[in-house]
Amino acid sequence: MSDEGGTGEPLSDSQKREIAVWFLSNAPAGEIHYVAKDVRALLGDDAVYEAAAAEAFPEYNKARLVSLELPDRSGDIIITAYGEIDKNNYLDPRTAQVASIDHMKQTCTKLRPAEDEELPSAYIEEFRCALDVELSKYVAEAYPKGTCAVYCTSGKDIEGPGADFCFAAVISATKRSPQNFCNGSWRSIWTMEFNYELQFVDIKGNIQVGFFT
């Protein structure tokens, strides 16, 4: 990475970082570590690579809805903006725990109980839990390698009937066989708006399918 447009002028560290971020951010499902290894070798500069990786990995993990096993083996957590407490900490609503994430290693490093303000009220949790149970049954049947979670996105402090609230149901599934040069992913997000006055639920969905050979 020493030449820009064939002019012979060396790339600046900032330009190298931007190029590296692009390659990392666009890595196929399950292959970011293979891409990272090659990018690091091509850069030949650990400081630039580390800066690029620190920027790209968290956004990649969120955009791809990467799921990671919890340290206590109580289940998997999906890395999504809906559960983001801060850059390195994410809520698992099913177990009411917050996991600390090492984005570059794609591992959970520790857990803590979620604080009251990070969780829905008992009233909202009844709805969220009921939806999560049914979604989990569906995912177990339809996605052999799938994980799911339901997040309250608004109205989580409501204590009883009389107000609107919203949920986001997230499904993430991957099929990885890098030795056969075949990886695939399925990502879907369904938002549900509960309108109390109209006794109406508005459901919208967004689906992304990736298949790479």
Could you read off the pLDDT of 64-113 as tens digits, one per residue? 999 999 988 888 999 999 999 999 999 999 999 999 999 999 999 999 99
- 205 pairs with which residues across the strands? 190
pLDDT at res. 213: 42
Give the chain's mean pLDDT. 90
CATH number of 120-212: 3.90.1150.210
140 CB contacts (<8 Å, ≥6 apart)? 146
pLDDT at res. 6: 53
Coil, strand or helix at 201: strand
What are the structure tokens assigned to 134, written together? Answer: 């049914």
- The domains of the chain are located at 13-63, 67-113, 120-212
CATH number of 13-63: 3.30.1140.60
CATH number of 67-113: 3.30.1140.60
d(CA 83, CA 148): 12
pLDDT digits (tens, 9 = 90+) for 101-125: 999 999 999 999 999 999 999 999 9
Domain 120-212 in the same topology as domain 67-113 = no
Q: Where are the beta strands (DSSP E) in the chain?
A: 67-69, 76-78, 84-86, 89-92, 97-102, 107-113, 146-154, 165-177, 182-195, 200-212
Residue with the larger pLDDT of the pair 107 and 31: 107
